[in-house]
Amino acid sequence: MKIIKISILILLIISVFFGCNSNSQKQNNNIIIGAIFSSTGVAGDYGKKSIEGIRFAVDEINADGGINGKKVEVIYEDAKSNPKDAISALNKLININNVAIILGDVYSSTTKVLIDNLPNQTLLFAPGASSPQLTNIKPNFIRNWTSDNFDGYAMAYIIYSSGIREITTLTQNNDYTISLNEAFISEFKKQNGTVSSNIYFDGESSDYKLLVQKLKSKNIKAIYLTALSKEMGLILKQSKEIGYFPEWFANLTVNSDDCKKIAGTARNGVVFSKPYIDLKNVSLSSKKFVAGYKKINGIEPDETVCHAYDAMNIIAYAIRKKGTNTNSLITYINGIKNYAGLSGVTSFDGHGGVLKQVEVLKILNDSLVFIKKFSFDDNK
């Protein structure tokens, strides 16, 4: 009887052992990719949308048989819009999950700390993080969102061409918006324009009436406003409430869902820049994604969703060609030209950045009126 019990126990141990090995082998047969996005904190809205885009892309990839017969598995970590949490997420993915390919972040400050702590054999691919300071910063960092320098050039050109020679900048104290403002000021001065005042304000407030009242009292007629969605909406709304109607120029958050809900008709007349995206002229598979996304969310995917969707698909495209060796992937991705994705035609510049188009639009009665499209090459 004891011998039988011992035999059964041995069989159970062997079963558990091989069962664990089987599960581990099954996991190893997947292509494991890490994702670090600020899904909470000041950049939370953009991080959540980035994750949406990646999940849609992964579902499509796996439904189509995966990559070279292997399923894709993504391990998501929250950077919480905080450099310290971003480092913790990076260390977990590398040291515990053993990933060598990571997507993220959309927020420049957390992306910068990820780059600073990135091992040489780990690839970091950001579908955002537009700060010019991240340009050509490390060989194993790549992004598919254009540098803020391009937005700065586009807005400076449009404003100066409209006859405005003097402008005030109003900027939220945030890495992303400060970067946009600095790029704009540099380009506007190159156009021989004058920045009469450069005003900064803190976010996370519900009342900006005192701020806009000061602008009104100074009779400022043209403002370049860079802010996150909530703050953008509140400033436009409260300016309208006090009867202040300068010429507003802004960044792409003015067209976000949150800003639309807050500002309402106060957005009317605002001119803004954003990556050029034409969802009407995309591939058949991309049209299916747009239709599916709209069916679930009631709206078309925005720039953030589209860039994240493309980032995942570009990684998958490169792995199909070169496998998972990160050095091979870095070289291959940097050489991709004219990739037709949801976020526009993408050509990498060979140094971890992209050369994509930027467009300037005007909001009129809740519709978007096209003003001009800008293209950039290696000389810009």
E strands, 113-186, are: 123-126, 141-143, 166-172
Q: What is the pLDDT of residue 364?
A: 97
* CB proximity list for 322: less than 8 A, separation 6 or greater: 328, 329, 332
Q: What is the pLDDT of residue 305?
A: 97
* CB proximity list for 311: less than 8 A, separation 6 or greater: 53, 54, 103, 125, 126, 127, 144
**Regions in the chain scoring below 70 on pLDDT:** 1-28, 378-380
Q: How far apart are CA 61 and CA 153, in angstroms?
A: 37
111's tokens? 């992306």
DSSP code string of 89-132: HHHHHHHTS--SEEEE-SSHHHHHHHHHT--TT-EEEES----G
Domain boundaries, the chain: 31-145+280-348, 149-275+360-374
The DSSP element (H or E) to which 272 belongs, if any, is strand 271-275
Is the bond preceding 116 in cis, omega lying within 30 degrees of 0?
A: no
The DSSP element (H or E) to which 360 belongs, if any, is strand 358-364
Q: Check: CB of residue 307 under 8 Å from CB of residue 356.
A: no
| pTM exceeding 0.85 | yes
Q: What is the pLDDT of residue 281?
A: 87
Superfamily of domain 31-145+280-348: Response regulator (3.40.50.2300)
Q: Does domain 149-275+360-374 have CATH number 3.30.565.10?
A: no
Q: How far apart are CA 143 and CA 103, in angstroms?
A: 9
Q: What is the pLDDT of residue 285?
A: 84
Q: Check: CB of residue 252 under 8 Å from CB of residue 307.
A: no
